[in-house]
């Protein structure tokens, strides 16, 4: 293959890896929004929290695989507690209060992270067998990015299986379209809400933990990941998983090629794309409601 | 009658206090008070959207920051640009931005509105960060001259003098807040509350909803821009992190919420509370964000109508008890 073609393919895989990470974060965000009507501003903050947990657990145990399991789980537990004790309390004051409480949580997580781990970037080391380069069909590629793509696909496949093949998944799907009706049918929706919130945060946590070696762990991580995830959810349409998937991959590629060709405008491209979509379809590409 | 007299006396006391403040406190607190006033105006414009029209502007910093940058750019590049036009340019820039965005913003409400404003403010933040030829990037724009207040044929007041600037800034803020207060009392102000309460009904009554929203947005953008311009004059430095970043967007939301959404003077109280809190907390710990965040969560949890709401409930309970006994 010619060097330019290699570059193109490498950027494509870069974009794919970032797009998958983005979708891990955005899928939880869009599910939570679809079901509970809460736009969780703190979503990416939980991903960042998981990344810090990843750093901490790795330091204590030294086992990367165990870390990858434990860190998102901790984040998920934090999410469940948040839902139970904060969001449910303000539920009666409406969506705006819920939105604002997530703003407060975002600030708190940011400050706590700074308090415990400081403001400098922390490096998470990748284990030996993931840190090499892989040669496929004439181009070398870092194994870890392929690993990220693999993990994302695995987690998402698993989630899709639950969502579309189990009873719980059916309940969740029904609750996304009409939570009141599901509640009226005798299903304990608060419990389902708590579960979905926890799982959404867990997904974000997986993204955060997996991204930790890639992006390095620092307090600005949530801003970067969060804005991109919001754009994905808004453009894809609130509550639409398919929309989030397509837009996440598209944005990942847009980002990768944007950085290569017009580095100064790369972040602007994303927002410009969003403005363009919203100008013609305020509900997002695949959404049915605002 | 007695109520009215009390009100006038109260206002009189406030005016006298504000007037003699420079004689009472040091320059540090003078700056502190000007910052409080600027953020009060800024928070009031946010509350006009949040409390009156019922939409959350999550990227309000874009109006504030655009105003500040416009003022700084005008002062840097135009020789002998005078003071009042600087403030006006700030307002114009903020208003223009709101006007440009309004065709998009009026189509959405609720969470989508919040997201859209957040996205646009991030867009402007990134643009300001990247186009360092114009905006100076992270360093921002500094070192522009602060022009004197010229009233042709009468006086020329030096604005580098802190006390003079204090009177000027307070006067501008007070006039703006008065205009906004008057604005909420006009029929159009009621119309905006109507948009919040029952937009569908207003639509049926024949009012033009998108235009109404757009006008209110533009008004809010304009006055937020003025606040930004005065901020630029106060700080003598405009940088992305100071006026355009996400914390600048969150600050007025917190102020409005802590003071009381929907009450006109609530955000001013919230601004005072947050500024005083910051001044006190910083003596004990550097973690202002932690304290602010915790207080914000507590307010949203337990006092959804803010301090003004709490005061109202307390008053109602008190009077109720009096009547019962």
Task: Output the 3-class SS for A141-206.
Answer: EEHHHHHHHHHHHHHHHHHHHHHHHCHHHHHHHHHHHCHHHHHHCCCCHHHHHHHHHHHHHHHHHH
Q: Which domain holds residue B182?
A: 32-245
User: What does the pLDDT read at residue A285?
Assistant: 81
Question: Coil, strand or helix: which one is A238?
Answer: coil
Model pLDDT, residue A243: 87
Tell me, yes or no, whether A15 lies in a domain.
yes
pLDDT digits (tens, 9 = 90+) for A11-64: 888 888 889 989 989 988 888 887 787 888 899 999 999 999 999 998 888 888
Mutate to test the interface with B, among A107, A112, A118, A236 (most CBs of B within 10 A): A107
Sign of CA dihedral B55, B56, B62, B68: positive
CA-based nearest distance A134→chain B, Å: 35
Residue A287 within a domain: no
Spatial distance between the Cα atoms of B45 and B220, rounded to a whole number of angstroms? 5
B224 is a domain residue:
yes
* Total number of domains in chain B: 1
The whole-angstrom separation of Cα A75 and Cα A117 is 16
pLDDT at A288: 65
In this structure, the dihedral spanned by the alpha carbons of residues A122, B239, A227 and A284, taken in order and rounded to 10 degrees, is -170
Question: Do residues A158 and A169 lie in contact, with contact meaning Cβ atoms separated by under 8 Å?
Answer: no
d(CA B222, CA B216) in angstroms, rounded, equals 10
Separation of alpha carbons A280 and A285, rounded Å: 9
Q: Is the dihedral of CA A246, A249, A255, A261 positive or negative?
A: negative
DSSP A41: T
Could you say which of B109, B126, B290 has the minimum Cβ distance to residue A108?
Answer: B290
**CA-CA-CA-CA dihedral for B175, B177, B181, B183, to nearest 10:** 70
Spatial CB neighbours of A256, under 8 Å, sequence gap ≥ 6: A11, A12, A14, A15, A18
- Rounded CA-CA distance A36/A24 in Å is 19
Given pLDDT bands bounded at 50, 70 and 90, which one contains residue A137? low
Determine, yes or no, domain membership for A290: no
Cβ–Cβ < 8 Å for A96, A218:
no
Which one of A114, A268, A282 has the shortest CB-CB distance to B112? Answer: A282
CA distance B147 to B124: 28
Q: Which residues of B touch A267 (CB under 8 A)?
A: 126, 130
User: For residues A241 and A31, is the Cβ–Cβ distance under 8 A?
Assistant: yes
Assigned domain for A76 exists = yes
Residue at B266 is within a domain: no
Q: What is the average pLDDT across A187-195?
A: 88
Is the predicted pLDDT of residue B325 greater than 70, yes or no? no
Asked whether residue B116 is assigned to any structural domain, the reply reads yes
Question: For the segment B126-177, what is each residue's pLDDT rounded down to a tens digit?
Answer: 888 888 888 887 888 888 888 888 777 677 778 778 888 999 999 999 999 9
Are A47 and A205 in contact by the 8 Å Cβ rule? The answer is yes
Query: Are the beta carbons of A275 and B292 separated by less than 8 Å?
Result: no
A51–chain B nearest CA distance, Å: 20
* A33·B257 Cβ contact <8 A: no
Inter-axis angle of helices A189-215 and A64-82, nearest 10: 140
What number of other Cβ atoms are within 10 A of residue A224's Cβ? 15
**Which residues, at least 6 apart from B113, have a Cβ–Cβ distance to it below 8 Å?**
B55, B56, B57, B105
Residues in chain B: 325
- Give domain status of residue B70, yes or no: yes
* Shortest distance, CA A27 to any CA of chain B (angstroms): 17
- Cβ of A111 within 8 Å of Cβ of B109? The answer is no
A78 has a pLDDT exceeding 60: yes
In which element (H, E) is residue A139 found? strand A139-142
Nearest CA in chain A to B54: A96
pLDDT digits (tens, 9 = 90+) for A216-238: 888 888 887 888 888 888 888 87
Q: Is residue A268 part of a domain?
A: yes
Q: Give me the interface pTM, i.e. the ipTM.
A: 0.81
| SS3 track for chain B | CHHHHHHHHHHHHHHHHHHHHHHHCCHHHHHHHHHHHHHHHHHHHHHHHHHHHCCCCCCCHHHHHHHHHHHHHHHHHCCCCCHHHHHHHHHHHHHHHHHHHHHHHCCCCHHHHHHHHHHHHHHHHHHHHHCHHHHCCCCCEECCCCCCEEECCCEEECCCCHHHHHHHHHHHHHHHHHHHHHHHHCHHHHHHHHHHHHHHHHHHCCCCHHHHHHHHHHHHHHHHHHHHHHHHHHHCEECHHHHCCHHHHHHHHHHHHHHCCCCCCHHHHHHHHHHHHHHHHCCCCCCHHHHHHHHHHHHHHHCCCHHHHHHHHHHHHHHHHHHHC
Name the residue with tokens 């320059």: B27
What percent of chain A has pLDDT above 90? 18
Residues of chain A contacting B296 with CB distance shorter than 8 Å = 100, 103-104, 107
Is there a contact between A268 and B292 if contact means CB atoms under 8 Å apart? no
Phi/psi of residue B237, nearest 5 degrees: -155, 135
Within a domain: residue B284? Answer: no
Q: What whole-number percentage of chain A has pLDDT above 70?
A: 97
- On whether residue A249 sits in a domain, the answer given is yes
Q: Quick check: is A289 in a domain?
A: no
Looking at the domain assignment, is residue A113 inside a domain? yes
How many structural domains does chain A have?
1
- What does the alpha-carbon distance between residue B250 and residue B57 come to, in Å, rounded to a whole number? 10
How many angstroms separate the CA atoms of B89 and B94, rounded? Answer: 9
Under 8 Å CB-to-CB from A264, ≥6 apart: which residues? Answer: B130
With pLDDT > 70 as the criterion, what percentage of chain B qualifies? 98
Domain that holds residue A267: 3-280
User: CA angle B38-B304-B3, nearest 5°?
Assistant: 70
Predicted structure pTM score: 0.85
Query: Which of B119, B292, B300 lies at the smallest CB-CB distance from A234?
Result: B119
Residue B150, strand partner residues = B156
Q: Which residues from B are below 8 Å from A39, CB to CB?
A: 111, 114-115
Contact between chains at B130 and A97 (C-beta distance less than 8 A): no
Tell me whether residue B134 is in a domain: yes
Interface test with A, best of B122, B133, B251, B306 (most A CBs within 10 A): B122
B140 found inside a domain:
yes
Cα–Cα distance measured from residue A215 to residue B35, given in angstroms and rounded to the nearest whole number:
37
Neighbours of A8 (CB within 10 A): 14
Is B67 a member of any domain?
Answer: yes
Choice among A198-202, A241-245, B268-272 with the minimum mean pLDDT? A241-245
Average pLDDT, chain B: 87
Residue B322: per-residue pLDDT: 58
Query: What is the spatial distance between Cα A265 and Cα A29, in angstroms, rounded to a whole number?
Result: 27
Backbone CA torsion sign across A167, A173, A177, A178:
positive
The three-class DSSP label of residue A140 is strand
B253 interaction partners in chain A (CB closer than 8 Å): 100, 103
Q: Do A275 and B246 touch (CB under 8 A)?
A: no
How confident is the model at residue B67, as a pLDDT?
A: 95
| Residues of A with Cβ-Cβ distance to B112 under 8 angstroms | 234, 238, 282-283, 290
A9 touches chain B (CB under 8 A): no
Q: Between vectors from CA B243 to CA B266 and to CA A208, what angle results, nearest 5°?
A: 95
pLDDT (mean) for B43-67: 92
B109, B114, B116: residue with CB nearest A99: B114
What stretch of H or E contains A136?
strand A133-136
């Amino acid at each position: 293959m010619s060097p330019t073609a290699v570059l193109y393919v490498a950027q494509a895989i870069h974009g794919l890896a970032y797009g998958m990470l983005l979708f891990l974060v955005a899928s939880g965000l869009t599910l939570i929004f679809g079901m509970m009507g809460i736009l969780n501003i703190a979503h990416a903050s939980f991903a960042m929290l998981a990344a810090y947990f990843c750093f901490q657990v790795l330091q204590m145990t030294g086992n990367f695989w165990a870390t990858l399991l434990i860190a998102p789980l901790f984040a998920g537990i934090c999410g469940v507690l948040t839902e139970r004790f904060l969001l449910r309390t303000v539920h009666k004051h409406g969506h705006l209060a819920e939105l604002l409480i997530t703003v407060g949580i975002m600030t708190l997580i940011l400050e706590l992270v700074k308090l415990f781990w400081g403001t400098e970037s922390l490096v998470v080391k990748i284990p030996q067998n993931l840190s090499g380069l892989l040669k496929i069909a004439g181009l070398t590629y870092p194994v870890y990015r392929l690993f990220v793509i693999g993990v994302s696909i695995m987690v998402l496949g698993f989630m899709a299986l639950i969502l579309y093949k189990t009873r719980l998944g059916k309940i969740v799907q029904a609750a996304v379209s009409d939570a009141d009706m599901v509640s009226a049918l005798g299903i304990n929706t608060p419990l389902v809400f708590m579960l979905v919130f926890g799982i959404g945060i867990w997904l974000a946590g997986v993204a955060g933990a997996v991204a930790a070696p890639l992006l390095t762990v620092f307090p600005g991580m949530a801003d970067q990941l969060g804005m991109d995830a919001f754009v994905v959810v808004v453009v894809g349409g609130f509550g639409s998983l398919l929309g989030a998937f397509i837009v996440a991959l598209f944005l990942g590629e847009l980002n990768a090629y944007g950085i290569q060709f017009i580095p100064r405008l790369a972040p602007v491209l994303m927002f410009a794309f969003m403005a363009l979509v919203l100008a013609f379809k305020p509900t997002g590409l695949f959404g049915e409601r605002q | 009658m007695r109520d009215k007299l009390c009100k006038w006396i109260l206002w009189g006391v406030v005016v006298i206090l504000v007037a003699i403040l420079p004689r009472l406190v040091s320059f540090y607190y003078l700056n502190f008070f000007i910052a409080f006033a600027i953020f009060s105006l800024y928070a009031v414009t946010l509350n006009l959207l949040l409390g009156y029209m019922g939409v959350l502007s999550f990227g309000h910093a874009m109006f504030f920051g655009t105003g500040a940058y416009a003022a700084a750019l005008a002062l840097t590049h135009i020789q002998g640009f005078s003071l009042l036009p600087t403030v006006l340019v700030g307002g114009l820039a903020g208003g223009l931005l709101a006007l440009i965005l309004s065709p998009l913003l009026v189509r959405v409400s609720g969470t989508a509105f919040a997201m859209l404003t957040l996205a646009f403010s991030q867009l402007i933040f990134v643009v300001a960060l990247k186009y360092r030829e114009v905006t100076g990037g992270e360093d921002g724009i500094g070192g522009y001259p602060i022009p004197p207040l010229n009233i042709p044929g009468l006086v020329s007041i030096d604005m580098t003098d802190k006390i003079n600037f204090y009177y000027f800034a307070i006067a501008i803020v007070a006039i703006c807040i008065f205009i906004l207060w008057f604005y909420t009392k006009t029929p159009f102000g009621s119309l905006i509350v109507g948009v919040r309460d029952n937009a569908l009904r207003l639509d049926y009554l024949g009012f033009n909803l998108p235009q109404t929203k757009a006008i209110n947005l533009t008004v809010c953008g304009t006055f937020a821009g003025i606040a930004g311009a005065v901020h630029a004059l106060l700080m003598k430095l405009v940088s992305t992190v100071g006026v355009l970043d996400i914390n600048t967007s969150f600050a007025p939301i917190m102020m409005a919420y802590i003071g009381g959404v929907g009450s006109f003077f609530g955000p001013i109280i919230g601004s005072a509370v947050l500024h005083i809190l910051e001044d006190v907390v910083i003596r004990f710990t550097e973690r202002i964000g932690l304290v602010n965040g915790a207080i914000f969560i507590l307010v949203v949890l337990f006092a959804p109508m803010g301090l003004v709401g709490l005061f109202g409930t307390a008053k109602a309970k008190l009077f109720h008890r009096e009547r019962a006994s």
